[in-house]
């Protein structure tokens, strides 16, 4: 019975403390020495993490630094850095804070110092945050403010904080490419193209939100380009000189967590009046029936229309050339949009009609998934608007569907 009463008291106390933590304003980072367990660029993520720790009975606070523009979640303060460093190892080994580190701050000089470097990756997903952010790992010059106890600490010289510093023994870089919706901050799944800017070619494509190992490009500029062309979002590109220090403009989208270089893409939706090409919607030969690999891009279009309820679209089908031929259509009241293994019908028709049928099958798919038919128009162009000559090696790209967004 005593245990149950104690549990109720502790539970109520935790709820009260959590409520206070969620409503308390974040304070500016003041002079002191802190044991930091999380650093965030997003205030909501920082306060959410703090609230989680408080609900677990920890004395966690959030402070904001105008010098670094980061929110720091810290669980303890100290009079000297020596005292703080002693606590790092037991904190890392005895708690879930595997990336705990010490921050010494002296506002009179406006400098910060990290006296011990995080060893592991730090993810925010475990607390339900909408964005993954990394701990800062780049040590700055230690403040020389004589009024603080931080002057006794010597920060080890580790050289420039550039990407080359994090190369593995196999001469590779460990990258994590994150993509987020600029407005909703939700994750966006898709591919990032890795470009060699000197040779002007794609090295490879990697998935967002998954770790990828990239080889040293061994090009003259010692640089890479990262390009996002995820359907439904505007093209975004980051150019990275691997010799540059991760600061300033580069630090706006690139950070380090342990041995992982993280690159963030904040993706913006298309605007009204723009045209999107659905290059990854594929049709069976002579058919107005899509291949299964088309589903991802179709669902991305569906997501765009659900998110932007004021968007109306025109779906335009295109073919390679204007030759007439057979047209295979679905002959089924409950169509399977991505399979030839169903009732179909064949008849002859023009290339324009085939392109129209293909636009209509996309329209039917969207209607079947809740989009009002009043928001859509369809158009078949046949081969009237080719991107390439019909005999060009890239002529296959003439077979496409375009989405025009209009009020």
The mean per-residue pLDDT over the stretch 128-152 comes to 33
Residues 204-258: tens digit of each pLDDT: 999 999 999 999 999 999 999 999 999 999 999 999 999 898 888 899 999 988 8
Residue 303 pLDDT more than 60? yes
pLDDT value at residue 257: 82
Return the CATH class of domain 163-267: mainly beta
Residues 346-382: tens digit of each pLDDT: 999 999 999 999 999 999 999 999 999 999 999 999 9
Kindly state the tokens that stand for 232.
């439904």
Nearest residue to 66 via CA among 115, 1, 110, 11:
110
pLDDT value at residue 25: 67
Work out the pLDDT band at 175, boundaries 50, 70, 90.
very high
pLDDT value at residue 40: 81
pLDDT value at residue 384: 95
Residue 97 pLDDT more than 90? no
The mean per-residue pLDDT over the stretch 55-71 comes to 84
Q: What kind and span of H or E run contains 85?
A: helix 81-94
Work out the pLDDT band at 275, boundaries 50, 70, 90.
very high
* CB 388 within 8 Å of CB 380: no
pLDDT value at residue 191: 95
pLDDT value at residue 9: 42
Domain with CATH 2.60.40.10 in the chain: 163-267
pLDDT value at residue 226: 97
In this structure, of 73-82, 158-167, 194-203, 350-359, the range with the lowest mean pLDDT score is: 158-167
DSSP 8-state secondary structure symbol assigned to residue 17: H
Which CATH topology does 275-406 take?
Answer: 60s Ribosomal Protein L30; Chain: A; (3.30.1330)
What is the full DSSP assignment across 104-161? EEETTTTEEEESS---S---SGGGT-SS---------PPP--TTSGGGG--PPP----
The mean per-residue pLDDT over the stretch 335-344 comes to 88
Residue 74 pLDDT more than 50? yes
Domain with CATH 3.30.70.1070 in the chain: 2-152
Q: Which of 29-33, 89-93, 335-339 has the highest mean pLDDT?
A: 335-339
Q: Any bridge partners for residue 406, and if so which?
A: 312
pLDDT value at residue 187: 94
Write down the mean pLDDT value for the chain. 80
pLDDT value at residue 139: 32
Domain with CATH 3.30.1330.60 in the chain: 275-406
DSSP 8-state secondary structure symbol assigned to residue 33: E
Residue 336 pLDDT more than 80? yes
- CATH code, 2-152: 3.30.70.1070
C-alpha dihedral (215, 220, 223, 227), degrees to nearest 10: -90
pLDDT value at residue 138: 31
pLDDT value at residue 371: 96
How far lies 246's CA from each of 2, 51, 92, 139, 184, in Å?
Answer: 55, 31, 26, 11, 27
Work out the pLDDT band at 108, boundaries 50, 70, 90.
low
In this structure, of 10-19, 29-38, 291-300, 350-359, the range with the lowest mean pLDDT score is: 10-19
Across the chain, which distance is largest between two alpha carbons, in Å? 88
Work out the pLDDT band at 181, boundaries 50, 70, 90.
very high
DSSP 8-state secondary structure symbol assigned to residue 29: P
């Amino acid at each position: 019975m005593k245990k149950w009463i104690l549990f109720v008291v502790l539970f109520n106390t935790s709820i009260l403390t959590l409520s206070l933590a969620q409503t308390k304003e974040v304070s500016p980072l003041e002079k002191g020495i802190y044991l930091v367990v999380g650093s965030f660029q997003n205030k909501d993520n920082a306060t959410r993490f703090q609230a989680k720790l408080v609900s677990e009975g920890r004395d966690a606070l959030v402070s904001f630094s105008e010098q670094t523009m980061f929110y720091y979640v810290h669980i303890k303060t100290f009079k000297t850095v020596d005292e703080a460093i002693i606590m790092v190892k037991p904190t890392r080994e005895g708690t879930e804070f595997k990336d705990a580190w010490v921050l010494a701050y002296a506002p009179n000089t406006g400098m910060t110092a990290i006296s011990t470097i995080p060893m592991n990756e730090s993810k925010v997903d475990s607390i339900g945050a909408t964005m993954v952010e990394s701990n800062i790992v780049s040590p700055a010059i230690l403040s020389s403010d004589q009024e603080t106890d931080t002057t006794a600490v010597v920060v080890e010289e580790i050289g420039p904080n550039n990407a080359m510093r994090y190369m593995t023994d196999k001469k590779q870089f460990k990258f994590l490419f994150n993509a987020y919706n600029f407005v909703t901050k939700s994750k966006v799944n898709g591919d990032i193209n890795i470009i060699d800017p000197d040779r002007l070619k794609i090295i490879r494509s990697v998935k967002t939100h998954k770790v990828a190992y990239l080889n040293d490009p061994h090009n003259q500029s010692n640089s890479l380009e990262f390009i996002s062309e995820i359907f439904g979002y505007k093209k975004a590109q980051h150019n990275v000189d691997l010799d540059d220090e991760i600061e300033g403009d580069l630090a706006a989208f690139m950070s380090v967590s342990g041995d992982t270089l993280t690159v963030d893409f904040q993706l913006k939706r298309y605007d009204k009046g723009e045209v999107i090409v659905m290059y990854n919607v594929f049709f069976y030969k002579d058919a107005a029936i899509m291949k299964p690999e088309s589903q991802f891009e179709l669902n991305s279009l569906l997501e765009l229309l659900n998110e932007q309820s004021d968007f109306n679209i025109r779906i335009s089908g295109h073919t390679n050339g204007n030759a007439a031929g057979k047209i295979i259509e679905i002959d089924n009241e409950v169509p399977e949009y991505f399979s030839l293994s169903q009732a179909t019908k064949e008849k002859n028709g023009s290339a324009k009609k085939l392109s129209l049928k293909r636009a209509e099958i996309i329209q039917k798919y969207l209607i079947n998934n809740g989009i009002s038919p009043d928001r859509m128009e369809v158009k078949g162009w046949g081969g009237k608007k080719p991107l390439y000559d019909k005999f060009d090696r890239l002529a296959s790209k003439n077979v496409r569907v375009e989405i025009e967004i209009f009020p």
